[in-house]
Amino acid sequence: MSEDDPTESPDPSPPAGFSPPPIPAFDAEAAETARERQGDLTKPPGSLGRLEDLAVALAGLTGDPRPTLADPTVVVAAADHGVVDRGVSAYPKSVTRAMLRNFAAGGTAVSAISEVVGAETLVVDAGVEGPAIEAGGPVEIVDERIGPGTDDVAAGPAMSRADAVAALSGGVRTARTRLADAGIVALGEMGIGNTTVAAALTAALTGADPDRVTGHGTGVDEETRAHKVAVVERALATNGLVDDDGGIDRDDDLDGGIDRGEEPDAGFDVGPVEVLRRVGGYEVGLLAGVAIGCAADRTPVVVDGAVSGAAALVADAVAGDVRPYLLPSHLGDEPGHAVQLDALGLEPLFDHGLRLGEGSGAALALSTYRAACRTHDRMATFAEAGIER
The CATH class that applies to domain 69-371 reads alpha beta
pLDDT given at position 133: 83
At residue 326, φ and ψ (nearest 5 deg) are -85, 115
Instruction: pLDDT band for 265, please (50, 70, 90 cuts).
Output: very low
Structure confidence at residue 255 (pLDDT)? 36
Establish whether the linkage from the previous residue to 65 is cis, with ω within 30° of 0. no
Domain range list for the chain: 69-371
Q: What is the mean pLDDT of the chain?
A: 90
Rounded Cα gap, residues 67 and 184, in angstroms: 10
The residues assigned a catalytic role are 358
Would you tell me how many other CB atoms lie within 10 Å of the CB of residue 63? Answer: 15
Name the residue with higher pLDDT: 34 or 246.
34
Percent of the chain with pLDDT over 90: 84
Distance CA 60, CA 53 (A): 11
Helices (H), 146-271: 161-177, 194-206, 210-213, 222-238
- Portion of the chain with pLDDT greater than 70, in percent: 89
